Structure 1
Amino acid sequence: MTHKPRSRDSFVNARWRSIHEGQSMQFPWDEDEVDGPNVEDRETLLMLAEMTYNAYVEPADPDWYDLGDGWPTHEPFGWEPDADGFRGYVFATSDNSTVVLSIKGTTASFPGWGASGPTAKKDKLNDNLLFSCCCAKVSWTWTPVCDCHRRGWKCDLNCVQEALVEESLFYPIGTNLYNNLTFMYPEANIWVIGHSLGGALASLLGVTFGAPVVAFESPGERMASGRLHLPQPPSTHHITHVYHTADPIAMGTCNGYLSACAAGGYAMESKCHLGKSIVYDTVSNASWAVDIRTHTIKTVIDRILSSPWPPAVDNGRDVPVAEVEEDCVECYSWDFGESFQNRTS
């Protein structure tokens, strides 16, 4: 069961009035039965994780996962020679009954991680806009991505929200692509998946359109959803996050000026996720150390989903139980207001 906007125009109008007039509207949502992925099945999650990995590479790459005869179609987007931003693939079954939009996450530019790729600059901009508390103002040495920081720990919330609705953000590109898919595949069930930044974008599209979502190792996107003024459906249980406890990005602990994320220029300060989360406790159950290098989708495929997870099997399950994140708090040190003087520290 999912909730979809009664019309695209009403969704856009409600969002516009919230952004520009500060008005909250009673928004009409329609319940809809949609065939989504079986997120309680490990093999299903593994297949979706492989699709997610493929969003990072081209079909000729030796690392490309062959998805078998059931998914003969893979149409690229954002892979043009001069493209430097939002990219991935659209996968479809042979009868076009199910279409999967797979969104690439951040191509990282961490020191020592090798070539960063053409999308790295815009990936980082989107990361720092969506997942930082206030324009990626981590310390006085940082150049923020928007001019909303005020004296001390004060942040102009209206300013941040305006920065997030700029067209440089990947979100509006994703909404345009999703709308195109609904015209190309009018009878299909459309799922949206992604890893890291791609997973967060998938979730934001899931809120917008009511599409089933599976997001792997995504940073918390609940704060971004609010700042984008997305009307919230009665339930977001059609959104499923999959991550493990050794990943500081998904856990919301890769922050502070001494963190590994800060070393790469990323202010990954968000923590709270929408929907439900399937959390693999790799720290307690497998003695993993918390390490940003475990954030990769390859880690999820090879070390978590490729074989049964013993704690889940012991409970008669394929995967851990998907649960809503309760009492989640983020950016608690900041004072967000709408009338601070426009003066930086």
Structure 2
Amino acid sequence: MIQRPRSPSAFQEARRKSFYDGQSAVLDWDELEILGPNITDKYTLSQLARMSGNAYALPEQSNWWDIDEKWNRSSPVGWEDPDMNGFRGHVFATPDNSTIVLSIKGTTTYGGTAKQDKLNDNLLFSCCCSRSPWIFGTVCDCYSGKSRCDNTCLHEALMDDNLFYSIGLNLYNNLTQIYPESNIWLIGHSLGGAVASLLSATFGSPSVAFESPGEALAAKRLYLPPPPSGEVHPGIIHVYHTADPIPQGACTGPFSWCIQAGYALETQCHLGKSIVYDTVTELKWRVELRRHTIKTVIEEVIEREWDVPEATPEEECIDCFKWEFGEYKNETISA
């Protein structure tokens, strides 16, 4: 069962009214029974994780993951120019086109997309434009002094047409034009999974995100109206393990790799429900960034001989509690 806004145009108008007019529009939502991924099944999660991993590659490359033959028909997105700086992934389809899976690439620290990946990371998952005493420079000018950050400025920064959420909106609309009768699933790893989740919150399609930073704060800053069930979007699933610091907002501090590389990945709260593998307790793993890779997730977590944990909502989760957010840009800034 998913909840989907009855009118995509009304959904976007509700966002506009909320941002510009401070009004909460009443939206009509439909509860729909559609074919979604069986998240209790290890093989299904493995296939989705492998497709998420394939967003980082082309079929002829060595890091392309083998997947079930029913998904072997795929089309690249954004791979036309290997040096192109932007959104990448693949569209997978069943032989009868009944199910279409959009797999969105996550962050890479090198190559043509690295700069844009980093910009999206710091806009979506930092408390205030990646402002930190340990990071040189910010990605937007929303800091308003004394641990305050301007909400309007943050929203406008996230609405740039060149950012991955906006690109994803257009891509999803194109897919619905090409496959009007198909079920569309959204998946991805890390940044790609968070973008998939935000698109799921927009269109009401099922999504599965692997090892993604918390995107709930970004959803608020994008003024995405929540469904009748509140912030627990029925169709959004996160999968991560406890030895990965990124989905837990723990890759912070002056000595963390994230900060040293200029990434402020500070959020930990996720939309929907989360499947959390306790690799720290069960496998005695240390929390370290090398556990974040999709290869680790596939081979050492999901495909390990153990049961899939139950998906549960993250309750009483708070992001950026040390910050104050409001309308400050017209006030005198004292840095």
1:109-129 Cα distance to aligned partner (Å, 9 max, x none): xxxxxxx11000000000000
Structure 2 gap segments, 5+ residues each: none
Q: How does 1:178-327 map to 2 (within 5 A)?
A: 178-235=172-229, 236-309=233-306, 318-327=307-316
Cα deviation, residue 326, structure 1: 0.5
Cα deviation, residue 16, structure 1: 1.0
| Range with bigger deviation, 161-170 or 241-250 | 161-170
Distance in 2, matches of 1:290 and 1:212, equals 29
The two structures, once aligned, show a CA RMSD in angstroms of: 1.3
* Counterpart in the other structure of 2:6: 6
Distance in 1, matches of 2:9 and 2:173, equals 12
Percent of residue pairs identical: 57
1:48-90 Cα distance to aligned partner (Å, 9 max, x none): 0000000001111122122232123110011121521111000
Q: What secondary structure sits across from 1:84 in the alignment? A: coil
Distance in 2, matches of 1:123 and 1:65, equals 22
Shift in CA distance, 87/342, structure 1 to aligned 2, threshold 3 Å:
farther
Equivalent residue in structure 2 for 1:172, among 159, 166, 169: 166
Shift in CA distance, 92/344, structure 1 to aligned 2, threshold 3 Å:
farther
* Counterpart in the other structure of 1:163: 157
Shift in CA distance, 141/306, structure 1 to aligned 2, threshold 3 Å:
closer
Q: For 2:227, give the aligned amino acid.
A: P
* Counterpart in the other structure of 1:30: 30
The question of whether the paired residues in 2 share the 8 Å contact of 1:138 and 1:257 is answered with no
Shift in CA distance, 125/342, structure 1 to aligned 2, threshold 3 Å:
farther
Cα deviation, residue 307, structure 1: 2.5
Shift in CA distance, 172/300, structure 1 to aligned 2, threshold 3 Å:
same
Q: For 1:22, give the aligned amino acid.
A: G
Q: For 2:279, give the aligned amino acid.
A: T
Give yes or no for the alignment of 1:130 onto 2:85. no
Q: For 2:122, give the aligned amino acid.
A: N
* Counterpart in the other structure of 1:83: 84
Normalised to the residue count of structure 2, the TM-score between the two structures is 0.96
The question of whether the paired residues in 2 share the 8 Å contact of 1:55 and 1:103 is answered with yes
Q: What secondary structure sits across from 2:70 in the alignment? A: coil
Q: What secondary structure sits across from 2:247 in the alignment? A: helix
The question of whether the paired residues in 2 share the 8 Å contact of 1:138 and 1:256 is answered with no
Q: What secondary structure sits across from 1:285 in the alignment? A: helix
Structure 1 gap segments, 5+ residues each: 109-115, 310-317
Q: For 2:333, give the aligned amino acid.
A: R
Q: What secondary structure sits across from 1:31 in the alignment? A: strand
* Counterpart in the other structure of 1:104: 105
Q: For 1:74, give the aligned amino acid.
A: S
Cα deviation, residue 342, structure 1: 5.3
* Counterpart in the other structure of 1:343: 333
- How many residues matched? 330
Cα deviation, residue 257, structure 1: 3.0
| Range with bigger deviation, 335-344 or 12-21 | 335-344
* Counterpart in the other structure of 1:314: none
The question of whether the paired residues in 2 share the 8 Å contact of 1:96 and 1:185 is answered with yes
The question of whether the paired residues in 1 share the 8 Å contact of 2:101 and 2:184 is answered with yes
Q: For 1:325, give the aligned amino acid.
A: E
Q: For 1:202, give the aligned amino acid.
A: A
Q: How does 1:19-98 map to 2 (within 5 A)?
A: 19-81=19-81, 82-98=83-99
Cα deviation, residue 344, structure 1: 5.7
| Range with bigger deviation, 15-24 or 222-231 | 15-24
The question of whether the paired residues in 2 share the 8 Å contact of 1:149 and 1:344 is answered with no
Q: For 1:84, give the aligned amino acid.
A: N
Cα deviation, residue 251, structure 1: 1.1
Distance in 1, matches of 2:189 and 2:288, equals 17
The question of whether the paired residues in 2 share the 8 Å contact of 1:2 and 1:34 is answered with yes
Normalised to the residue count of structure 1, the TM-score between the two structures is 0.93
